[in-house]
Amino acid sequence: MSTVKLTVNGKAVSADVEDRTLLVHLLRDHLNLTGTHIGCDTSQCGACVVHIDGRAVKSCTVLVGQANGANVTTIEGIAKGDELHPMQAAFRDNHGLQCGYCTPGMIMSAIDIVHRHGGKLDEETVRHELEGNICRCTGYHNIVKSVLDAAGRMKVAQAAE
């Protein structure tokens, strides 16, 4: 058992957990942040993607110790109060989700994609960049549309800031 301290969605948190605890389990089981999901056992599906220090990471493949001291952002931490993150809004407006299970990881990966590529995104790039997130419902068609739409919105939002 160890005590881990980290910042999650802007709040300092601390938990006493077994060293074998994965970040995703800390979030879901100890912090009740159940928006981060588990869809596989092999680091393939991306349902568990969160940001650690601003980078998209599969939280099922991170020991809590590795996240000690880190700044973690989950799907619950990206909206500003009632105002959705542009990526969230784009997923809703473009029907980028169906069952919703892969959606949190998909959105967290998508935000990271836009951050890394800025406004220079095209369909092929988005499809390639979504390689680590599996969706069984949408055929990705509307997810790709959502990401491209959000890239424009995020650019506008950035310009406004």
Residues 101-120 that bind another protein (CB under 8 A): 101-104, 107, 109, 112-113, 116
Strand blocks (E) in 28-155: 49-52, 55-58, 71-73
7 lines the binding site for another protein (CB under 8 A): no
Binding-site member from 72, 114, 144, 154 for another protein (CB under 8 A): 144
Nearer to another protein, 102 or 159 (CB): 102
Q: Which of 26, 56, 72, 150 binds another protein (CB under 8 A)?
A: 56
Instruction: Indicate whether 80 belongs to the interface with another protein (CB under 8 A).
Output: no
CA distance 156 to 68: 34
Contact (Cβ atoms closer than 8 angstroms) between residue 26 and residue 64: yes
Q: Is 86 among the residues that bind another protein (CB under 8 A)?
A: no
Q: What is the DSSP string of 1-38?
A: -EEEEEEETTEEEEEEE-TT-BHHHIIIIIS--TTS--
Does 44 help bind another protein (rule: CB under 8 A)?
Answer: yes
Could you say whether residue 151 binds another protein (CB under 8 A)? no
